[in-house]
């Protein structure tokens, strides 16, 4: 059996998760039957799907009409009707082991023999759920995040008996549904994301309990200094303190006294109006950036890295899976493995050893894998290897971009769709490394594009700059110059947001092509900043002073049609003509004479800033240089012979 054999899907549960999963599955084109125990609940779930699809349609995020998608959804309260002809069943019933085991036992009787069964449990053992059936090899965990329609990540979890074929089909199904799967290869409590997230909330709670920090200090430091989307206490208040409390109890872990006090006082967070913050009479999470001073962020991050190291060392997940999981599942700016490689694994290990020694607490006991890496000298990026291998002098694997060199076309995809391809220091470093190390003889054209369907790049990753000092920004960011000066023509393929640093990257390219729905702007002024990365200067040269100042001073966005009118992009075309237009530009450049294109680029880039006399002198020098190339002979011969030239770049 393969993923293509899945034709009909059933989802059990029409609650928060069940109706969201049903919507995702129907959007992916599958007929799906949603089942709950009462008609009212099924109807509520269906209405929530209708509402959500209408919202998506308003935002132009659907490829077909809401009606067409709804047409694939059926509802029922009858389990047999729901599953008797399903190839794949996804269970999203309440989080109780006895209930899930009963459901799976019944499912085993009613679903076809070959059908795969998956549970969306967040914390129960897949192995124990699967044991209720006679087909534990065909049962897997499939952990969506809330809300399923918005959240890109799905953990695909092996129970003790799950066979590879089953896990692979679930993984491919997730991909077919347009989501990003990660494998969790062993049935560990908390799977990957919640295991690593645990210490993010847990360690600050211990620090506050021991009077080593305050709530506001911890939240401000993690958000403003380390770039996390929310502070640990803010997050706990949002999810509900009782939720974290029960998860810890179930896992047999000690409870930080501050958490115990809050739960005893029934101050459970936003839902009760009071938690770590006061939401009813006060403003809630009222911490300010300066509150974060003096908080030991490394202590919290070291514990997250330690959890990640346990998962990697125990073959539960690869570093890539852990990092992808944390970025997509929690919105962390970076995964813990990549971040630890930057910090230095030796630094992380020393921190844990120091805390273990000082406090005597087991939670700081370093993971074997972390110790092994450090002992082997694999201390992170600076040593060339840590969780990841870093290829320092050749073009290698990158974490935030994908590239492909095919017949002279180097395609560079900015790959952080969950952050609208925001340019972090790491991503810029990777672009710089790729272009600096790419062999220009093999490349005839470079095409930059953004992953996902929403943005080329929506700006700089401000979170990633949180801990930088003013002097870190004094030097011109080299990446934009590397792109601008690359020996071959570069094209920005823009479909969606192209803002701030994203626009600066596009401006550093030679040509820019955009879909009609794309939006351009330099919003930096709204942050009290000015465009960097050459933004002020290139806008001035490309648009002229009047228009450039409008963009920079007002900080507004302009649509693609205006961008074309202003000469900011070469073409603005409807979505369905975009690929063809890009291909035409790319083909012309690939077939063009590489040396003449290089000389044209240099002479025009340099000449733009020189006096006319100097520019003309450069041009004639370039002209003379080209006269002796084979390409000129080929070009003129082909012209005489009325055939297409074949330029070799000599």
Structure tokens at 135: 């087909």
- Which one of residues 6, 9, 10, 12 is an interface residue with ligand NAD (CB under 6 A)? 12
Residues with Cβ within 8 Å of 341's Cβ and at least 6 positions away in sequence, in order, are 380, 381, 386, 387, 388, 390
CA 434 to chain centre: 20
Query: What binding mask, one character per residue, do residues 41-80 give for ligand NAD by CB under 6 A, x or -?
Result: x---------------------------------------
The answer to the question of residue 13 lying near ligand NAD (CB under 6 A) is yes
Q: Is 504 a catalytic residue?
A: yes
User: CB under 6 A: which stretch of 13-21, 244-252, 453-461, 623-631 binds ligand NAD?
Assistant: 13-21
What minimum distance in Å lies between the beta carbon of 600 and ligand NAD?
55
- Which one of residues 9, 17, 69, 355 is an interface residue with ligand NAD (CB under 6 A)? 17
Assign 3-state DSSP to the chain and report helix, strand, coil percentages, each to 5: 50, 15, 35
The answer to the question of residue 421 lying near ligand NAD (CB under 6 A) is no
For ligand NAD, the closer of residues 324 and 490 by Cβ is: 324
The answer to the question of residue 93 lying near ligand NAD (CB under 6 A) is yes
For ligand NAD, the closer of residues 145 and 158 by Cβ is: 145
- Which one of residues 36, 234, 301, 519 is an interface residue with ligand NAD (CB under 6 A)? 36
The answer to the question of residue 179 lying near ligand NAD (CB under 6 A) is no
# binding residues, ligand NAD (CB under 6 A): 22
For ligand NAD, the closer of residues 27 and 193 by Cβ is: 193
- From residue 360, alpha-carbon distances to 198, 215, 351, 356, 591 in Å are 20, 24, 13, 5, 68
Alpha-carbon dihedral 454, 457, 458, 459, rounded to 10 degrees: 170
DSSP reduced 3-state for 492: strand
Do 184 and 191 touch, CB atoms closer than 8 A? yes
Q: How far apart are CA 203 and CA 359, in angstroms?
A: 13
User: CB under 6 A: which stretch of 140-148, 184-192, 397-405, 436-444 binds ligand NAD?
Assistant: 140-148
User: CB under 6 A: which stretch of 11-19, 108-116, 355-363, 383-391 binds ligand NAD?
Assistant: 11-19
The answer to the question of residue 39 lying near ligand NAD (CB under 6 A) is no
Helices (H), 111-152: 126-130
Please name the residue that has the structure tokens 């908080």.
295
- Which one of residues 25, 34, 49, 103 is an interface residue with ligand NAD (CB under 6 A)? 103
Do 132 and 259 touch, CB atoms closer than 8 A? no
What minimum distance in Å lies between the beta carbon of 50 and ligand NAD?
17
Decide: residue 292, CB within 10 A, 0-12 exposed, 13-18 middle, 19+ buried. buried
- Which one of residues 22, 48, 52, 122 is an interface residue with ligand NAD (CB under 6 A)? 122
Do 190 and 123 touch, CB atoms closer than 8 A? yes
Task: Give the containing element (helix H, strand E) for 406.
Answer: strand 401-406
The answer to the question of residue 14 lying near ligand NAD (CB under 6 A) is yes
Catalytic residues: 504, 524
User: Where along the sequence are the contacts to ligand NAD (CB under 6 A)?
Assistant: 12-18, 35-37, 41, 92-95, 103, 120-122, 144-146
């Amino acid at each position: 059996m393969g993923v293509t054999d899945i034709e009909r899907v059933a989802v059990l549960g029409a609650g928060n998760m069940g109706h969201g999963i049903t919507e995702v599955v129907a959007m992916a084109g599958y007929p799906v039957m949603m089942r709950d125990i009462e008609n009212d609940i099924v109807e509520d779930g269906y209405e929530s799907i209708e509402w959500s699809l209408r919202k998506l349609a308003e935002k132009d995020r659907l490829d077909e009409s809401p009606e067409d998608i709804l047409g694939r959804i059926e509802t029922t309260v009858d389990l047999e009707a729901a599953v008797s002809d399903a190839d794949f069943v996804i269970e999203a019933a309440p989080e109780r082991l006895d209930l899930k085991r009963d459901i799976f036992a019944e499912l085993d009787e009613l679903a076809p023999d070959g059908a795969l069964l998956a549970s969306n449990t967040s914390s129960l053992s897949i192995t124990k759920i699967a044991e209720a059936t006679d087909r534990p090899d065909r049962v897997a965990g499939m952990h969506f995040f809330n809300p399923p329609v918005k959240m890109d990540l799905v953990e695909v979890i092996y129970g003790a008996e799950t066979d590879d074929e089953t896990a692979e089909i679930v993984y491919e199904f997730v991909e077919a549904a347009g989501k990003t799967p990660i494998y969790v290869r062993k049935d560990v409590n908390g799977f990957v994301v919640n295991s690593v997230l645990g210490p993010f909330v847990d360690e600050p709670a211990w620090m506050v309990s021991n009077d080593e920090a305050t709530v506001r200090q911890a939240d401000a430091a993690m958000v403003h200094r380390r770039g996390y989307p929310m502070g640990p206490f803010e997050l706990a208040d949002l999810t509900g303190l009782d939720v974290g409390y029960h998860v810890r109890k179930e896992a047999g872990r000690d409870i930080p006294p501050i958490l115990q006090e809050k739960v005893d006082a029934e101050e459970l967070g936003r839902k009760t109006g009071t938690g770590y913050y006061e939401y009813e009479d006060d403003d809630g999470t009222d911490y300010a950036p300066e509150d974060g001073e003096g908080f030991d962020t490394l202590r919290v991050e070291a514990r997250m890295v330690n959890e990640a190291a346990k998962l990697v060392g125990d073959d539960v997940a690869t570093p890539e899976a852990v990092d992808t999981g944390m970025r997509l599942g929690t919105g962390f700016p970076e995964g813990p493995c990549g971040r630890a490689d930057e910090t230095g694994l030796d630094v992380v290990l020393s921190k844990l050893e120091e805390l273990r020694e000082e406090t005597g607490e087991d939670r700081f006991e370093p993971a074997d894998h972390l110790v092994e890496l450090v002992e082997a000298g694999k201390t992170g990026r600076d040593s060339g290897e840590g969780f990841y291998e870093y290829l320092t002098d050749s073009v290698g694997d990158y974490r935030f971009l994908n590239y492909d060199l095919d017949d002279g076309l180097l395609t560079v995809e900015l790959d952080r769709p969950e952050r609208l391809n925001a340019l972090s220091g790491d991503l810029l470093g990777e672009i710089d490394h790729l272009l600096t190390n790419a062999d220009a003889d093999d490349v005839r054209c470079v095409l930059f594009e953004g992953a996902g369907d929403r943005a080329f790049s929506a700006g700089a990753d401000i979170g990633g700059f949180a801990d930088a000092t003013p002097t870190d920004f004094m030097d011109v960011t080299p990446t934009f110059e590397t792109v601008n000066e690359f020996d071959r023509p570069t094209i920005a393929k823009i479909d969606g947001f192209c803002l701030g640093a994203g626009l600066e990257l596009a401006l550093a390219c030679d040509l820019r092509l955009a879909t009609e729905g794309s939006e351009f702007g330099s919003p930096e002024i709204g942050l009290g900043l000015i465009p960097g990365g050459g933004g002020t200067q290139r806008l001035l040269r490309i648009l002229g002073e009047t228009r450039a100042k409008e963009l920079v001073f007002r900080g507004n966005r302009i649509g693609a049609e205006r961008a074309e009118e202003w000469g900011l992009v070469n073409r603005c075309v409807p979505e369905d003509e975009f690929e063809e237009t890009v291909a035409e530009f790319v083909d012309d450049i690939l077939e063009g004479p590489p040396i003449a294109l290089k000389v044209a680029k240099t002479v025009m880039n340099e000449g733009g800033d020189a006096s006319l006399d100097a520019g003309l002198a450069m041009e004639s020098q370039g002209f003379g240089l080209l006269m002796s190339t084979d390409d000129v002979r080929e070009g003129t011969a082909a012209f005489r012979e009325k055939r297409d030239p074949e330029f070799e770049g000599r």
